[in-house]
Chain A
Amino acid sequence: MASLSEEVLLVVKKVRQKKQDGTLYLMAERIAWGPEGKDRFTVSHLYADIRCQKISPDGKAKIQLQLVLHTGESTTFHFANESSALKDREAAKELLQQLLPKFKKKANKELEEKNRMLQEDPVLFQLYKDLVVSQVISAEEFWANRLSINNTDHSLSNNKQEVGISAAFLADIRPQTDGCNGLRYNLTADIIESIFRTYPTVKQKYGENVPHNLTEKEFWTRFFQSHYFHRDRINTGTQDIFSECAKQDEKGLKSMVVQGVKNPMVDLLSLEDKTLDEGYGVSTAPSTSNSNKTVKENSNSAIIKRFNHHSAMVLAAGSRKGETSSTDGNSRDSDFFQPPVKKVKLQESIEYEDLQRENGPKTVALNLKKSDRYAHGPVPLQSQQYTTSQDIINSVNCIRHEMANYKPNLTQVLSNSTASSAIAALSPGGVLMQAGAQQAINRKCNDWCNLTLT
């Protein structure tokens, strides 16, 4: 039964279904068909249940529209009105085309979610196969269990890295000269998305105007032509659809300035110029921003404003986490420094880490009973020569006596014979080089063996 509160969007008479004449009603949330003369509907499908619609090819005599449901069922409607069958069908088709996507998302989202979960987690997939496909438990039970678990880590699973916006994305759209006096702009989907994320007002305008008033191409052409995009925004004509954007941007910038920086450690107001002319430091100087300025100053301030606004939008867009449609385009994320963060900042600036007590790992002290063993270490006992105390005294006296009159005598350090005997000992074959000679012989033998073997 059709409830009276449902809004009927389209009524098509003379539609046959299963060889019966009737009327097709397209409502806000469902499509229904009732046979001629009766007010109840025999066929009623929610848009959410419809997977897709199919139409018969144009050349065919019968003009038909088929609805395929998610469950696999299909319903066919035959438009039998002689004069306007095609028109009717086209009207119905177009309306369905517009309505179906809205409802499709809701139904499919769950399925998609489930599919995604199964694909991402092979263990889950295997479990699903084992339990549901082999009919141990039904699919609904499976998902009922799963969804309660997965709702908690839903937030964790969406930790894909958000890609920020390149600050130079507008500059990257370099126009190419298109022959005579024309410019060609290459817009990719990425650039369009960047523009929408950075300038939500433009997105708004896009939504309003396309595809009703302008085609996409025209929209973008106007965008680039408008003074909004180019440097000087002073002369914005009222016909320009983007003049509103400029005004909104200015408003947004002012609100940002008013909000100020919420870091308690940063005091920007102390940077203002304070003169002692009038009021002796009590009254601040009047701000010179709105007084009479020359044209050049105006354009300079316009450029500066543009840059500030652009940078602020780029930063804000990056931190907005993708929800651009809901937030107002020109308001920054309020409360950048919420109370707990503020406390942390204050804490950081009043405490020095290295003046705190050391919180190193607690170690266990080594408790030795015979620590003198460590003094000599794993060294074998060596015979010690003991000197009597008398010897010691004698030696010390002797050396002191000798060194009291020490004068370096560097010309008599070596004699010829001692030097030459030392050199002989150090030359190959000498006393000190014996071990080396043996090694050299060994090496020669090895080399010779290798040579003969190869």
Chain B
Amino acid sequence: MASEDEFNLLAIVVDVNPIWWGQQAQREPEFTLSKCLDAVMVMGNSHMAMTRTNKLAIIASHCQDSHFLYPCKTWKGGEGSGDDASSSGDGKYELLSVANNLIAEEIRNVMSKTEVRGHSTDTLLAGSLAKALCYIHRVTKELEAGQEMKSRILVIKAADDCALQYMNFMNVIFAAQKQNILIDACVLDSDSGLLQQACDITGGLYLKIPQKVALAQYLLWVFLPDSDQRSQLVLPPPAHVDYRAACFCHRNLIEIGYVCSVCLSIFCNFSPICTTCETAFKIQLPQMVKSKKKKLKPST
């Protein structure tokens, strides 16, 4: 039984890239952003219903910014806004109904403010993860003496990886690892190498689901239990992660290469000057064995 002093915080980062979801609505009309958000709400409600001390945070990751869907800054604990919220009439736990209404309202606001911009079509996932980490950090600091908190982040990813966010992503991953925060990933469309690395390093679960329509089922089955309970369950095994680095000159994956000691850039061939930082190196190369030239037999 969880005691009064153990909190469990689940931060869900939902990828609401409007371009991808707009295209998805045209490709597969039975699974759109609305359905995805419904599944996320079910997941959030289940998490809060498990124990009274469970906490929830939902962040929408857009191309322009990252926005907190829940908890909301303007939400004042539920006393004032209880009039219209509790009129759901189905006797639902008030916290859940308030949360659902808030999330719906916020996502409507976010999507209505979407502007068309040609150059930034990538989801700001690294920024959303960083915001989630900051929120977790803040809540941890607000705990009273004697209270503990375990937290994890669940990323629901739709669009493709953005290569330009590599550095920030890796920083976020290592920060999460230091804070013992799990990063789980539920990928809807195409595999993401960055998220695979994140899950491997922090100890979370990575899953690419075959059926988008059954998103809610996958979320509840795989991602609802927390890390202590996962050891008792039979869950999809971790996939093998390819940690090979790509060289900076050709972008090929290599296993053995040369690293510049000044700027740490990776090359597949030795060159006396590093092209990134232009440092000149003087090292002794191993002696090249001259290959014996084979004498061509004269053709008769």
Interface positions of A (Cβ within 8 A of B):
366-371, 373-382, 384-385, 387, 389, 391-400, 402-404, 406-410, 412-415, 418-419, 421-423, 425-426, 428, 431-433, 435-436, 439
Cβ 8 A contact of A398, one of B26, B38, B251: B26
Task: Return the chain A residue nearest B164 by Cβ.
Answer: A375
Is B217 a contact partner of A418 (Cβ separation < 8 A)? yes
Instruction: Output the least CB separation between A422 and chain B (Å).
Output: 4
Measured between beta carbons, the chain A residues less than 8 angstroms from B222 are: 426
8 Å CB interface, B204-257 against A: 207, 209-211, 213-214, 216-218, 221-222, 234-237, 239, 245-248, 251-253
Is A395 a contact partner of B237 (Cβ separation < 8 A)? no
Given A395-B18, A421-B214: A379 and B33 within 8 A (CB)?
A: no
Is B277 a contact partner of A381 (Cβ separation < 8 A)? no
13 additional contacts, CB 8 Å, given A398-B26, A413-B38?
Answer: A377-B163, A380-B252, A382-B161, A389-B118, A392-B19, A395-B25, A402-B33, A402-B34, A406-B33, A406-B107, A410-B38, A425-B211, A436-B234
A-B contact pairs, 12 of them (CB 8 A): A375-B167, A376-B164, A387-B19, A403-B34, A408-B38, A408-B103, A413-B35, A414-B216, A422-B209, A422-B211, A422-B214, A436-B236
Task: Return the chain A residue nearest B20 by Cβ.
Answer: A395
Interface positions of B (Cβ within 8 A of A):
18-23, 25-26, 32-35, 37-39, 41-42, 45, 100, 103-104, 107-108, 111-112, 114, 116, 118, 121, 160-161, 163-164, 166-167, 170, 193, 207, 209-211, 213-214, 216-218, 221-222, 234-237, 239, 245-248, 251-253, 262-263, 265-266, 275-278
The complex places the Cα of A409 from the Cα of B26 at a distance, in Å, of 21
- Give the secondary structure class of A's interface: helix
Measured between beta carbons, the chain A residues less than 8 angstroms from B23 are: 387, 391, 395
Measured between beta carbons, the chain A residues less than 8 angstroms from B108 are: 403-404, 406
Instruction: Output the least CB separation between A218 and chain B (Å).
Output: 63
Task: Tell me the total A-B contact number using a CB cutoff of 8 A.
Answer: 175
The complex places the Cα of A410 from the Cα of B44 at a distance, in Å, of 12
Is B251 a contact partner of A380 (Cβ separation < 8 A)? yes
The complex places the Cα of A447 from the Cα of B62 at a distance, in Å, of 50
Measured between beta carbons, the chain A residues less than 8 angstroms from B35 are: 413
Instruction: Output the least CB separation between A128 and chain B (Å).
Output: 49
Task: Return the chain B residue nearest A364 by Cβ.
Answer: B262
Is A387 a contact partner of B263 (Cβ separation < 8 A)? no
Is A435 a contact partner of B239 (Cβ separation < 8 A)? yes
Task: Return the chain B residue nearest A437 by Cβ.
Answer: B237
Is B210 a contact partner of A431 (Cβ separation < 8 A)? yes
Measured between beta carbons, the chain B residues less than 8 angstroms from A373 are: 248, 265, 276
Given A396-B19, A400-B18, A406-B107: A379 and B118 within 8 A (CB)?
A: no
The complex places the Cα of A378 from the Cα of B116 at a distance, in Å, of 31
Measured between beta carbons, the chain A residues less than 8 angstroms from B252 are: 380
Given A378-B266, A421-B214: A400 and B277 within 8 A (CB)?
A: no
